[in-house]
Amino acid sequence: MNALAATNRNFRQAARILGLDSKIEKSLLIPFREIKVECTIPKDDGGLVSFVGFRVQHDNSRGPMKGGIRYHPEVDPDEVNALAQLMTWKTAVADIPYGGAKGGIGCTPKELSTSELERLTRVFTQKIHDLIGINTDVPAPDMGTNAQTMAWILDEYSKFHGHSPAIVTGKPIDLGGSLGREAATGRGVVFATEALLAEHGKSIKDMTFAIQGFGNVGSWAAKLIHEKGGKVVAVSDITGGLKNPSGIDIPGLLTHKDTTGKLANFSGGDALDPNDLLVHECDVLIPCALGGVLNRENADHVKAKFVIEAANHPTDPEADEILSKKGVIILPDIYANAGGVTVSYFEWVQNIQGFMWDEDKVNNELKKYMTRSFHNIKNMCQTHNCNLRMGAFTLGVNRVARATLLRGWEA
């Protein structure tokens, strides 16, 4: 089941649990605006090349729309739509004053030079500058984009609207980016894990962890878990996998990966087939990479007691059912990986105030938001007698529905 179908299914189930009126249920699914633009740029060799750019703005009942821009060959309007909708529920679960959006350009970034990427980003910004805004829609980086991409968008947007650092988040620190943004998603995952384990009378230092994906999110989560005394027994990424039952030396592994670019040949552990990571012996499994990795083929063999969804949509609905029957507790992506968008919100707040915070304040505020959201989700679970995924979805959908009704949506 793809991301769009799964998101719609979760939304409908939440709407049913909440007893939403069918008219409001229908209106909440319909995006506010879908934008499609043609971006033609001169290539370095003098030829012309054209790319299609999208921006889906899903809902603005709770505040400006927020979501990433991805540069990827398979930027599919359906997927962008699903991810925009997911951002609406995610920002509501995190209780930050945003709605959802998502965008992208169908291109292969590694086939373009830096100057071609800059031209493409600027043309895309020129085409959408009057449809985004500090109080309208605030983009951020996603797959294939980074702080540099945000810097170009900021510069191009500012040519039309004057200096506007709050137009994008995930910027370089020198241009108004927030301290702590880089680690935010991984750190949020760890705060979420702490909140869940505390509920079960456990803490990170008592547990063993397996982490799939060792990019930004996975490596930060591993580093912070290691610092808190947790034992990371297995990690993997596209380059390979590594296991060590007595715990991997994470700082050493990070240094090794920085120098060699891969996990393989690290002396502090044995090679592990990346496909076996998900079914590796551990207490807590953290998928930080792609969607749909837990499915009906492997779900039955998962040995972890807790699954923390750091990736978007890593568990497909069939796996969800199998794992629930086994008594595995799943912390849903819509909450577990919300650390990134929460610190993006802090960045936007700092830019609007023109007053920057130190890193401790960013991290303390993040912990406060993540912990509070967990307790709000647990309250929904108790009220509606449902699992954590439905607790999170009912919390998010209910907040958006209430805002929509209060604003008067039938007028």
Using one digit for the tens of pLDDT, what is the confidence trace for 329-367? Answer: 999 999 999 999 999 999 999 999 999 999 999 999 999
Amino acid at 7: T
- pLDDT band with cut points at 50, 70 and 90 for residue 5: confident
CA distance 404 to 353: 28
CB 119 within 8 A of CB 65: no
* Per-residue model confidence (pLDDT) at position 411: 53
Question: What are the respective helix, strand and coil percentages of the chain, to the nearest 5?
Answer: 50, 20, 30
**Percent of the chain predicted with pLDDT > 70:** 99
**pTM tops 0.85:** yes
Q: Which residues contact 85 (CB under 8 A, 6 or more apart)?
A: 7, 8, 11, 29, 31, 58, 59, 100
Which residues are annotated as catalytic?
Answer: 102
Which tens digit of pLDDT belongs to each residue from 192-230? Answer: 999 999 999 999 999 999 999 998 899 999 999 999 999
Does 264 score more than 90 pLDDT?
no
236 is in an annotated binding site: no
- Of 153, 180, 155, the C-alpha closest to 347 is 180
The separation between CA 199 and the C-alpha centre of its own chain, rounded to angstroms, equals: 24
Range with the poorest average pLDDT among 13-22, 29-38, 157-166, 317-326: 317-326
On average, the pLDDT of the chain sits at 93
Residue 136 structure tokens: 């309208």
Collapsed DSSP state (helix, strand, coil) of residue 84: helix
Does 1 score more than 70 pLDDT?
no
Give the chain's domains with CATH numbers: 29-176 (3.40.50.10860), 181-333 (3.40.50.720)
* Per-residue model confidence (pLDDT) at position 410: 66
66 is in an annotated binding site: yes
90 is in an annotated binding site: yes
* Per-residue model confidence (pLDDT) at position 362: 97
Q: Tell the residue number behind the tokens 């990170």, with chain if given.
A: 204
C-alpha distances out from residue 405 to 62, 64, 111, 399, Å: 11, 17, 47, 10
Does 33 score more than 80 pLDDT?
yes
